[in-house]
Chain A
Amino acid sequence: MSGRLHGPFRFDRLVVGAANRLAVTAARTVAESPGSVYNPLFVYADPGLGKTHLLVAIGHQASEINTGVRVEYLTLDEFVEAFHTAVAAGQGDAYRRHVAEADVLLLDDVQFLAHRREMQAELIRLLDLMQTGERQIVLASDRPPAEIEALDDRLIRRFAGGLVVDIARPDFETRAAILQRKAQELDAGFDAQLITEVARHEYVNVRELLGALNRLVALQAVSDGPIGPSEAVAFLRGAEAVEPGTEPEMGEPPAPEPAMIASADAGGAGGDEFGSFLSEVVATVADQVDAWRQRVAAAILRWEGEGYRTTRLERLLEAEIPEDPEPVLTQYEHDVSRLEELAQEATDVSSDLGGNAVFRDPDQVAEAEALVERARAGANPPPAPSPLWQFEELVEGGGNRMALRSGATVAAEPGTRYNPLVIVGGSGRGKTHLLHGIGNAIAARTDAVVACLAAHDFIAELIEALERDRVQAWRARYYRATAFLLDDVHLLAGKERTQEELYLLFNRFSEDERQLVFTSAVPLAQLEEVEPRLLTRLEGGLVVELPAPDREVRYEVAARLLRARLDIEDGELANYLASRPVESIRSLHGVVQRVVNAAEVKQVVPTAALARELLEGPAVQPPGRTRRMRASGVIVPAAGGVRNPEKMVWQWPTAVDRVIEEWR
């Protein structure tokens, strides 16, 4: 420990009353765990009310708890002077480090920061350094931060970010207790009545109170016998006599006065018997009530500081307490621990869930548990089927009839008929549409929770869950679904862990008769690197093929597209488009799109002729032409052999141009 720490200023010499209870509790907390709570701690009070005592007591206690702690106590003036000296010696940085590396810095009289911009800036840096290093700083001032003239707003904010507490003037009981203790220390032997009388006066501060006591000690030393209460009061007022009942400056009259007078009048063996009885009762009650309330108040302060609601403890202070508050405090702490566990679990499930206010209220442990339970159960819903793909929009033809009817059955009776339903087909044939269509149809049912996603998303989610150690939550998200639809299951080939998860999910859904639907671009028999246990389960359901769209389907799709895009009904065009050889619905979409675009460029309504010209090229080379070598060297095939008219050059340069070209 370094700095100037006054020996006698310790917590056990502090008399705690209503006026300083908060400050003392905060100070004790800081001393017990410096840097972790209330950092900075700012204590303000009028002079003589115990700020320095509190600061030094923190230093002593922190050092006693941990002998390795370095405590630095400085008044602001000492700090300024030392800093200036260090700067003058070229050691400014070293001194700054020296101060900032103290485990506990106690800075007294910081009201003298007023109008000292340079030192304010220095203090801001110091605060930041110490807070970053989790080192404790405690400041004392004779006024609150906001009342220190020209104090930098940043400092005010930083002080407010810790804890700002005040110490008020001591109340009667505290004054009496202070006097009693001091009288004992001085071995003054004053009786309780005298102490009570002196304490009744509202002294400006504790120093003045102790000054009065010291004067009485001196008076007693020169008196023949013990001094009485009246004599003491008269002495403290100067030579002025005391007239009972006419004591305007004696502050709030606590209980004893009438009793004392009555007792004195009564005379006899007892004299002030009732008065001294009352004094003892006052002291005992104050001790007991304060001790009890102090325990609860300290707990409130602590848990409030840690961000927990303390309604229960506040009620404890207000309510009738038939028993020791310890069990309530113990239960409260137990609940806080439980909330911490739950908050951690909630954070694991969802990073933003841990911040829910319910985890900061020990009166809501049940709600917190329910919240976590919901989170565990996957309150975050699984990905739903896309509303863009509705089952009704699918066009049924001879080729896909079986697949669509199977899908309709599954949608009507999920989990009971074809489970799983596996839709196999080449790319672009409408597997995804059918899958989502089934999903949407199931989702329309009451209480249905449909998980519908692509296999690559499923894999990516699992990887992320593994990275974040949240596999359980990830699983829960899907396990709560009533139907699980996975697109492109063939992409799971080689993904062993994902297959394992799917296997587990598969079993769970099958057992519960919850619907499973898969699509695959690869026939199951050709799937490689898929575990047999999963493959066999897929094959164990209904596997339906989604073939290339037949002409019937193509016609209907083309007609719909034309209606949707151009609002036209053109049977000939739809018929022509349907006649185009395409392998998938997606290709047909492409063809229609080309025709529509071409029509837009030409600013005409698309027709079958336009489509034909676009898709087959302008007609029509004279029949019977045979392939021959032109002078340009281009081989011109026979008209019927033109496979791609777009790639042919139909306008050739004139002969003159070609001569010039060749001549060059």
Chain B
Amino acid sequence: MSLVNFTSREITCKIVYYGPGRSGKTSNLQYIFGRVPEDRRGQMVSLATQSDRTLFFDFLPLDLGTISGFTTRFQLYTVPGQVYYNATRKLVLQGADGVVFVADSQARRFEENLESLQNLQENLLAHGVDVREIPLVLQYNKQDLPADLILTSEELDEALNFRSVKSYPADCLHGSGVFETLRGVSELVLRRLARKGPIA
């Protein structure tokens, strides 16, 4: 996949929402899906288990129309968060132009966040991509939960954001921070238009 195709005048951005299981990746896509006019979005593909856990991945195509002469499309993916679906995660990650790491702000999920972040780094490396090179933002979801259950953005930044990328507090169920996150990662991805090709 190519980020910019000057022959067909297309820009296609693949953005992958990554993170531990039940951190809210699919919720991000569902919220976005609900805010995008019908003629701008494709069918959201979601393969989930009976308990609403993502079995394979979610896929939401967005058609942003013609921008500067380029037909611009965004493809939003989520990965299954469960540890045993790593092969799928790796597959989905292939060719990603940007990554949103969705962390669960609950204090009890702290370790899972760390593991998932390490797993992201490993899987990117498997595709020959340095995590420092790829557009990456962090989203601290579930900030709407009682304060005694969660870590603050500052605490999560301290713990997870050692690369000092942009981070966004969010409440995906109600939409807070969802589009801010998408805008953040999109900007990083698009800023690379004139410089880099696909990451893998």
List A residues at the B interface (Cβ < 8 Å): 18, 173, 254-255, 258-259, 261-263, 266, 268-270, 273-274, 276-278, 280-282, 284-286, 288-292, 317-325
B1-15 residues at the A interface, CB under 8 angstroms: 2, 4-7, 11
Contact B37 A285 (CB under 8 A): no
Q: Pick the contact of A269 from B38, B40, B67, B175 — CB < 8 Å?
A: B175
Q: Pick the contact of A263 from B35, B65, B176, B182 — CB < 8 Å?
A: B35
Contact A259 B7 (CB under 8 A): no
Q: Pick the contact of A262 from B5, B36, B64 — CB < 8 Å?
A: B36
Chain B residues near A319 (CB-CB < 8 A): 6-7
Give, as a whole number of angstroms, the nearest-CB distance from B12 to chain A.
12
Measured in the bound complex, the distance between the Cα atoms of B190 and A278 in whole Å is 12
Contact B64 A278 (CB under 8 A): yes
Give, as a whole number of angstroms, the nearest-CB distance from A262 to chain B.
3
Q: Pick the contact of A324 from B5, B175, B194 — CB < 8 Å?
A: B194
Contact B190 A285 (CB under 8 A): yes
Measured in the bound complex, the distance between the Cα atoms of B183 and A282 in whole Å is 11
Q: Pick the contact of B34 from A261, A266, A291, A318 — CB < 8 Å?
A: A266
Give, as a whole number of angstroms, the nearest-CB distance from B27 to chain A.
14
Chain A residues near B5 (CB-CB < 8 A): 320
Given A258-B39, A270-B179, also A285-B72 (CB < 8 A):
yes
Contact A285 B11 (CB under 8 A): yes
Q: Pick the contact of A254 from B65, B182, B187, B197 — CB < 8 Å?
A: B65
Give, as a whole number of angstroms, the nearest-CB distance from A170 to chain B.
13
Measured in the bound complex, the distance between the Cα atoms of B6 and A18 in whole Å is 16
Contact B195 A324 (CB under 8 A): yes
Contact B2 A322 (CB under 8 A): yes
Give how many B residues have a beta carbon under 8 Å from the other chain's beta carbons.
39
List 7 A–B pairs whose Cβ atoms lie within 8 Å, in order of A's numbering: A259-B36, A262-B37, A269-B174, A280-B186, A281-B190, A285-B68, A324-B194
Q: Pick the contact of B194 from A261, A266, A291 — CB < 8 Å?
A: A291
Given A173-B68, A278-B64, A324-B195, also A318-B7 (CB < 8 A):
yes
B28-44 residues at the A interface, CB under 8 angstroms: 32, 34-40
Give, as a whole number of angstroms, the nearest-CB distance from A176 to chain B.
11
Chain A residues near B65 (CB-CB < 8 A): 254-255, 278
Chain A residues near B195 (CB-CB < 8 A): 323-324
Chain B residues near A266 (CB-CB < 8 A): 34-35
Give, as a whole number of angstroms, the nearest-CB distance from A295 to chain B.
8
Chain B residues near A270 (CB-CB < 8 A): 35, 175, 178-179
Contact B4 A321 (CB under 8 A): yes
Residue of B nearest to A257 (CB): B37
Given A255-B67, A276-B179, A289-B70, 4 additional A-B pairs, CB 8 A:
A273-B178, A277-B186, A281-B64, A317-B6
Measured in the bound complex, the distance between the Cα atoms of B5 and A319 in whole Å is 7
Give, as a whole number of angstroms, the nearest-CB distance from B158 to chain A.
27
Measured in the bound complex, the distance between the Cα atoms of B191 and A44 in whole Å is 33
Residue of A nearest to B72 (CB): A285
Measured in the bound complex, the distance between the Cα atoms of B193 and A621 in whole Å is 116
Contact B37 A274 (CB under 8 A): yes
Interface SS of B by simple majority: mixed
Measured in the bound complex, the distance between the Cα atoms of B67 and A255 in whole Å is 8
- Central interface residue in A255, A288, A292, by most chain B CB within 10 Å: A288
Chain B residues near A291 (CB-CB < 8 A): 194
Give, as a whole number of angstroms, the nearest-CB distance from B2 to chain A.
6
Measured in the bound complex, the distance between the Cα atoms of B193 and A280 in whole Å is 15
- Central interface residue in A18, A254, A258, A321, by most chain B CB within 10 Å: A321
Measured in the bound complex, the distance between the Cα atoms of B177 and A287 in whole Å is 25
Contact A292 B37 (CB under 8 A): no
Chain A residues near B7 (CB-CB < 8 A): 318-320
Contact B179 A273 (CB under 8 A): yes
Question: In this assembly, does B108 line the interface, its C-beta being within 8 Å of a C-beta of chain A?
Answer: no
Measured in the bound complex, the distance between the Cα atoms of B67 and A286 in whole Å is 7
Contact B70 A285 (CB under 8 A): yes
Give, as a whole number of angstroms, the nearest-CB distance from A128 to chain B.
42
Chain B residues near A318 (CB-CB < 8 A): 6-7
Contact B64 A255 (CB under 8 A): yes
Contact B67 A273 (CB under 8 A): no
Give, as a whole number of angstroms, the nearest-CB distance from A231 to chain B.
21
Measured in the bound complex, the distance between the Cα atoms of B35 and A288 in whole Å is 26
Question: In this assembly, does B118 line the interface, its C-beta being within 8 Å of a C-beta of chain A?
Answer: no
Contact A320 B6 (CB under 8 A): yes
B56-77 CB contact bits vs A (8 Å, 1 = yes)?
Answer: 0000000011111110100000
Question: In this assembly, does B127 line the interface, its C-beta being within 8 Å of a C-beta of chain A?
Answer: no
Measured in the bound complex, the distance between the Cα atoms of B190 and A173 in whole Å is 16
Chain B residues near A282 (CB-CB < 8 A): 67-68
Q: Pick the contact of B183 from A280, A286, A288 — CB < 8 Å?
A: A280
Measured in the bound complex, the distance between the Cα atoms of B32 and A277 in whole Å is 11
List 3 A-B pairs, minimum CB-CB distance, nearest first: A255-B65, A262-B37, A292-B194
Give, as a whole number of angstroms, the nearest-CB distance from A191 to chain B.
13
Contact A258 B37 (CB under 8 A): yes
